Amino acid sequence: MVDKLNDDIGEEKRLRLWEMMLKLRLVEKKAYDLFLQNLIKGTSHLALGQEAIAGAFGVALKQGDYTFCTYRGHAHTLARGSSIEGVLGELMGRQCGLMKGKGGSMHLTDVDKGVMGSYAIIGAHLTIANGTALASKYNKTNEVSVCFFGDGTTNIGAFHEALNMAKIWNLPIVFVCENNLYMEYTPIHEVTAVEHPAADRAGAYNLDKIIVDGNDADEMLRTAEKAISKAREGKGPSLIEAKTYRHSGHSRADPGKYRPDEEVKDWMENKDPIKNYRAKLLDFNINEKIISEIEEKIKDQVEKATEISMASPIPEIKEIYTDVWANGGSEWHN
């Protein structure tokens, strides 16, 4: 039951969150369709089912804040306001892509929106996110850095180095572990010494143990806002473990057969963040017409962006030789 009298979030923000999550869902679905049509090459790691986490932070963050995500980063990039054609165009290797085809699905970057990159080597970006946080502290500005990563990341050294450094230097940063229960193809509990891969390590770095239902968008938003405020007020880093689930496999090549059917069914039918949030909006007496209008609007945006991406030219071959160096070129001798 919803508590309408003590609603701390409100209709305006809920609808923004709804629109955000829906956009992440529909763009990922479109990315999957384009894969099946062979219009997207290479690999791709979809965040279907995990939209509430990126969505909540997208709503909670301010312009100027920095975000870092992983190769499973389409959603996190869109959540900062990057254009759909920028994301789909990059996946399709077109000139309208965020990096004009030079980075691809696993490296989406949009500095104007604070998207400081998507990182494909596990753990590295936790240390790099400390750097933008350090810069905010050094410059005495109040941006917050947020770093998203998966449960598998908690077992690599960089995770531990980064948490320790963030704590000893009291950096304005929020680390967000999206625990989707599987490290690629392996259940995370089979390869981790503790039950909660991130939260159970928090104490080792003098951080609070924070576990949240990452598929409950409202709870996710509250948790995000609290951690962001703490960082912005100079009270230091947070480590959040958000429990969630991938609707698809690890990557394009993975049908996810290692997961029990019943488990998948339960998460898809009973714990889908989008389905549940739609029901919650209705519980809060939000007009279904408004909800449907947003759905139609996003569907339309995704279709238009797909058309723009498909019409966008492929990169020129000379782009191979640009932007190795700040002078724009690739020469290494005179």
Partner 1 sequence: MAQLTYRASVSLAIAQSMRKDQKVFFIGEDVGAAGGVFKATVGLLEEFGKERVMDAPISEQAILGAAMGAAMTGLRPIAEIMFSDFLAVCWDIVANQIAKTRYMSDGQINIPLVIRTANGGGSKFGAQHSQSLENWSMMIPGLKVVAPSCPSDVLGLMDSAVKDPDPVIFYEHKSLYAFKEEIEQTDISIPIGEANMLHEGKDITIIGLALMAQRAKEAALILKDKHDINAKVIDLRSLVPLDLQTIKKSVIETGHVLTVEENPRLCGWGAEISSLISEHCFKNLKGPVTRVTTPHVPLPSADILEDNTIPSVELIVNEVIKKLKGE
For partner 1, the closer of residues 17 and 115 by Cβ is 115
Start-to-end C-alpha separation, the chain: 71
Stretch that binds partner 1, among 37-45, 118-126, 246-254, 267-275 (CB under 8 A): 118-126
Beta strand 173-179 with 186-187 is unpaired
C-alpha distances (whole Å) from 318 to each of 314, 315, 321, 327, 328 are: 12, 8, 6, 15, 12
For partner 1, the closer of residues 311 and 320 by Cβ is 320
Told to check if 134 binds partner 1 by CB under 8 A, we report: yes
Judged on CB neighbours under 10 Å (0-12, 13-18, 19+), 59 is: buried
Footprint on residues 82-101 left by partner 1 (CB under 8 A): 98-100
The kind and range of the H/E element at 225 are: helix 217-232
Q: How far is the CB of 297 from partner 1 (least distance, A)?
A: 29
**Contacting residue, 27, 75, 128, 239, with partner 1 by CB under 8 A:** 128
For partner 1, the closer of residues 49 and 117 by Cβ is 117
Q: How far is the CB of 117 from partner 1 (least distance, A)?
A: 6
**Contacting residue, 119, 182, 267, 277, with partner 1 by CB under 8 A:** 119
Stretch that binds partner 1, among 14-22, 51-59, 164-172, 247-255 (CB under 8 A): 164-172
Q: How far is the CB of 111 from partner 1 (least distance, A)?
A: 4
Stretch that binds partner 1, among 81-89, 127-135, 187-195, 267-275 (CB under 8 A): 127-135
Contact 198, 154 (CB under 8 A): yes
Told to check if 69 binds partner 1 by CB under 8 A, we report: no
Judged on CB neighbours under 10 Å (0-12, 13-18, 19+), 148 is: buried
Footprint on residues 203-262 left by partner 1 (CB under 8 A): none
Told to check if 116 binds partner 1 by CB under 8 A, we report: yes
Please count the other Cβ atoms lying within 10 Å of the Cβ belonging to residue 139: 9
The kind and range of the H/E element at 89 are: helix 84-91
Q: How far apart are CA 112 and CA 109, in angstroms?
A: 9
Stretch that binds partner 1, among 7-15, 69-77, 163-171, 252-260 (CB under 8 A): 163-171
Phi, psi of 98 (to 5 degrees): -55, -35
Told to check if 334 binds partner 1 by CB under 8 A, we report: yes
| Sequence letter at residue 54 | A
Told to check if 175 binds partner 1 by CB under 8 A, we report: no
Structure tokens at 275: 């389905």
Phi, psi of 47 (to 5 degrees): -105, 25
Stretch that binds partner 1, among 17-25, 73-81, 103-111, 191-199 (CB under 8 A): 103-111
At 315 the three-state DSSP class reads coil
Phi, psi of 70 (to 5 degrees): -100, -175
For partner 1, the closer of residues 103 and 256 by Cβ is 103
**Contacting residue, 40, 87, 165, 183, with partner 1 by CB under 8 A:** 165
Told to check if 65 binds partner 1 by CB under 8 A, we report: no
Per this entry, what is the length of the chain? 334
At 187 the three-state DSSP class reads strand
For partner 1, the closer of residues 1 and 332 by Cβ is 332
Neighbouring C-alpha atoms within 13 Å toward the C-beta of 103: 25
Footprint on residues 299-318 left by partner 1 (CB under 8 A): none
For partner 1, the closer of residues 253 and 326 by Cβ is 326
Q: Which residues sit at the interface with partner 1, rule CB under 8 A? A: 66, 98-100, 102-103, 107, 109-111, 116-117, 119, 121, 123-136, 138-139, 145, 157-158, 161-162, 164-165, 168-169, 322-326, 328, 330-334
